Structure 1
Amino acid sequence: MSPEGLPYRPCAGFMLVNREGLVFVGQRIDPSAHGFWQMPQGGIDKGEDVRDAALRELQEEIGVAAHLVEVIAQGSRPFLYDLPPELLGKVWKGKYRGQEQHWFLGRFLGEDADIDLEAHDPPEFNEWRWIEPALLPELIVPFKRAVYEELVAEFAPLI
């Protein structure tokens, strides 16, 4: 099947900002994305609410429980990206051409000690840090860069 005939994988993501207006990023352990940093995100389970999925991903990937997050906004629309040809058929068992991502912006109400990269088994990230929102697009894998540029443009005024 051609990539155009494949669906997009439903995904939810979270731009988590601290009290100083900096954004959480984690460095991926995944060999295909090693050296790149991203915000928490992952698949939406069948029948799952997108907001619930985004908050679940925060808990699963970085150990941040929902009560430690004040949701500020949901993205104005789903953001799409296509996988590059070298990854098509290799990730997600070849079922998807890319992702349809539903993004949320939220304020982190906890302390850095509340972030636990070991919360997920196996861990998704090997390192994390807080960064200026404008730096996000240059840290993400190139095929997701346009999504991150749009997210920064939409969410930055709300941070």
Structure 2
Amino acid sequence: MIDVDGYRPNVGIVLLNGDGRLFWARRVSRDGWQFPQGGMRSDETPLEAMYRELQEETGLAPQHVEVLASTRGWLRYRLPSRYVRRHQRPTCIGQKQVWFLLRLVGGEQALRLDAGEKPEFDLWRWVDFWYPARHVVSFKRGVYERALRHFAPVVESLLSVQLGNLPPEPARDGGGDCAAA
């Protein structure tokens, strides 16, 4: 399902543990790490799609999590031109996403990366709150930053911690990154 502007509706999942750390997973057979995310079906609400993707990618069911917040409206990113499949119609130029902040309410033993027919991740770990915004693939970085900024006050209030602002961009070594769209 691609909208008239060329964006695929999608959901993203930020999973928080009791220590305020976030679930971070490595894509199968790739070096890229990311949050769970996935496309919406035409007959699903964002919440329904989130629960389906959560189960497929992490093995977690609704009783394992508490929904703490979601973004309002869509957060969009464009794909780099090398990933756009121009021979397909309609052409998908990027993703538009509703993000959900979830808290793990059970133990980690419920996490199963092999729960879906075709696993998307092969490793996972807990990371500091702002870590994903600096370590996700560059074209998703802007969306990650916006989602985490939106969720930071919720996490600070819940855990009575001060996360601070998004850390400054690290110095670059001259290698170019794609700008986040």
Please say whether Structure 1 and Structure 2 have the same fold, judged by a TM-score greater than 0.5.
yes
Q: Say whether 1:81 aligns with 2:80.
A: no
1:81-132 Cα offsets, whole Å, 9 max, x none, are 0000111117x88731100101111111121111000012221001001111
Larger Rg: 1 or 2?
A: 2
CA distance in 1, matches of 2:44, 2:73: 17
Does 1 or 2 have the higher relative contact order (CA < 8 Å, sep 6+)? Answer: 1
Write the letter of the residue equivalent to 1:23.
L
Aligned to 1:130: 126
Q: TM-score, normalised by structure 2?
A: 0.78
CA distance in 2, matches of 1:17, 1:94: 36
Q: TM-score, normalised by structure 1?
A: 0.89
CA distance in 1, matches of 2:89, 2:109: 35
Q: Say whether 1:141 aligns with 2:146.
A: no
Q: Say whether 1:64 aligns with 2:60.
A: yes
CA distance in 1, matches of 2:146, 2:120: 24
Matched length: 152
**Is the 8 Å Cα contact of residues 88 and 94 (structure 1) preserved in structure 2?**
no
SS at match of 1:16: strand
Aligned to 1:157: 153
Q: Which runs of 5+ in 1 are unaligned?
A: none
Compute the displacement of 1:76 (Å).
2.2
CA distance in 1, matches of 2:80, 2:31: 17
Aligned to 1:11: 10
**Is the 8 Å Cα contact of residues 8 and 100 (structure 1) preserved in structure 2?**
yes
Could you say if the C-alpha distance between residues 24 and 93 of structure 1 is closer, same or farther in structure 2, counting changes exceeding 3 Å? farther
4+ runs deviating over 3 angstroms: 92-95
Q: Say whether 1:107 aligns with 2:103.
A: yes
Q: Which runs of 5+ in 2 are unaligned?
A: 156-181
Write the letter of the residue equivalent to 1:9.
R
Compute the displacement of 1:77 (Å).
2.4
The correspondence for 2:41, drawn from 35, 40, 45, is 45
Percent of aligned pairs sharing the same letter? 38
